[in-house]
Amino acid sequence: MAARTGAAYLAGLRDSREVWLNGVRVTDVTAHPSLAAAARSIAGLYDLQLEAGGVCLAADPVTGELVNISLITPRSRFDLHRRHVALERLARYSAGLLGRSPDYVNVTLAGFAGQRQLWAANGNEQGAANLVAFHREVQSRDLALTHAIIHPVVDRAMPEHLAGGGEVVLHKAGETADGIIVRGARALATLAPFADEMFVYPGQPLPKDATSYALAFSIPMSTPGLRILCRDSFAAAGSISDHPFSGRFDEQDAVVIFDDVVVPRHRVFLDGEPEIYNKVMASGWAANIMQQTSIRAQVKLQFAYELATRMVQVVNGGNPATNEMLGELWSYHELTRAAVVAAEAEARDYGDGVWFPDERPFRALRPALPRWFPRVNEIITLLGSHNLLATPHSAELAHPDLRPLIDRYYQGAGNVSAAERIRVFRAAWDFSGTGMAGRNELYERFYLASAARMYQVAHASAQRDGNWDLFDSVIPPAS
């Protein structure tokens, strides 16, 4: 079948999955008042890939099927270039606010499948073969994947897998004739209610003896025993002009509980190998996924810069202080763009002909973005001040008694109409101030681990890779 329509995607979500929201089991995520809008938005991405097939689709070199480029393992600089173009097109659809649009996990899966030799170590040939077969299946059925790689935090002072008597963190609890039984929880699975498959793969490194926790597999969201507990919804009902982001892009985040779930053997990619578990995420994964996620971040930063510039323009608020803030926003966008260009320029073969960008620019960018995005929101808040809340609802704009008053008292500078000014500040509030905006800021702070952790990784990697000889070449030796 390969690349699907939005309608086919939505039809696939109508199954027996166990999604809980506000204590109620959701029977159909495509019809639920708090979930349907986001489901439609993801469906829109599937339609977009067909409408913009020239940039979003390509034939898989092995099967010849026309698939989303995010699902193709990059095997050249050209592959990375065309993937860039496709990822940017997809990110522009939501101004980068859909952090976990399906292309996110697609890129990871395509990378894993290309690096099958890493998975095939220590006698795990069958697991690696299962992973490659799964990649083919995702391509040919055009499945949307969610992923959960983080263990629930119970007690930060002890090894994660031992918390709660070793029963909290996802682990293997037994075997059946056809597969393995898994039990425990993982967090957070963004997109979970809107995904076809739950893809579990390695996260933070595990100790050598934590064999029963070293798992990778994928199962349909409707698998019995898979319980999906959504966070509170931030989806706003009503007109998109009132809620341009929360009306469309609440992609949801869920804790997933595996309540003695049977994973069929052909879907088990890793079973009890901490060494492989720790290796597959340290051998190109970051360089691969950071292309997708940095392009999305760049698009979002571009949007933030355009939005903030518009906010200043509609009230004629340009002055040295506001221009400084606009310049700061532009710099974040440009530095992100430059990091992607640099990483792609020094792309290389990571083994077996699989190409990923250079990881170093991304190592620098990865901890910077979680600190830039909160600052972006702060700048929008500072520029917006009370104007962020002086934004009548579309129903008030439509009211014949109120409209003349709104046109007079909410007008902007020069010939900026009240409707235009309201449009800008409503977008600004939904971007930086609503519950959805708060969730999005949390996302940017943590979705690829905290800045603190990532700066530590950057330093450790720099020490491992670098030839740091400048100090000794410039400063005379101690006598």
Ligand X SMILES: Cc1cc2nc3c(=O)[nH]c(=O)nc-3n(C[C@H](O)[C@H](O)[C@H](O)COP(=O)(O)OP(=O)(O)OC[C@H]3O[C@@H](n4cnc5c(N)ncnc54)[C@H](O)[C@@H]3O)c2cc1C
Binding footprint of ligand X on the chain (CB under 6 A): 100, 147-150, 153, 188-190, 253, 439, 442-443, 446-447, 449-450, 452-453, 456
Q: Which is nearer to ligand X, 34 or 322 (CB)?
A: 34
- The CA distance from 130 to 180, in Å, is 14
CB of 227: closest distance to ligand X in angstroms?
16
Q: Which is nearer to ligand X, 35 or 189 (CB)?
A: 189
DSSP helix/strand/coil, 199? strand
- The CA distance from 290 to 158, in Å, is 30
Q: What is the CA radius of gyration of the chain?
A: 24
Q: Which is nearer to ligand X, 199 or 410 (CB)?
A: 199
CB of 453: closest distance to ligand X in angstroms?
5
- Residue 272 contacts residue 73 (beta carbons within 8 Å): no
CB of 124: closest distance to ligand X in angstroms?
22
Beta strands 253-264 and 179-190 are: antiparallel
Q: Which is nearer to ligand X, 191 or 428 (CB)?
A: 191
CB of 351: closest distance to ligand X in angstroms?
25
- Residue 444 contacts residue 369 (beta carbons within 8 Å): yes
CB of 468: closest distance to ligand X in angstroms?
23
- The CA distance from 34 to 336, in Å, is 33
Q: Which is nearer to ligand X, 263 or 347 (CB)?
A: 263
CB of 456: closest distance to ligand X in angstroms?
6
Q: Which is nearer to ligand X, 97 or 131 (CB)?
A: 97
CB of 367: closest distance to ligand X in angstroms?
10
Helix axes 418-432, 435-446, angle to 10 degrees: 50
- Residue 298 contacts residue 334 (beta carbons within 8 Å): no
CA angle 272, 149, 453 (to 5 degrees): 110
Q: Kindly give, in sequence order, each residue whose CB lies less than 8 Å from that of residue 193, ignoring residues fewer than 6 positions away.
A: 13, 17, 19, 21, 26, 29, 35, 39, 228, 230, 252, 254
Q: Which is nearer to ligand X, 323 or 450 (CB)?
A: 450
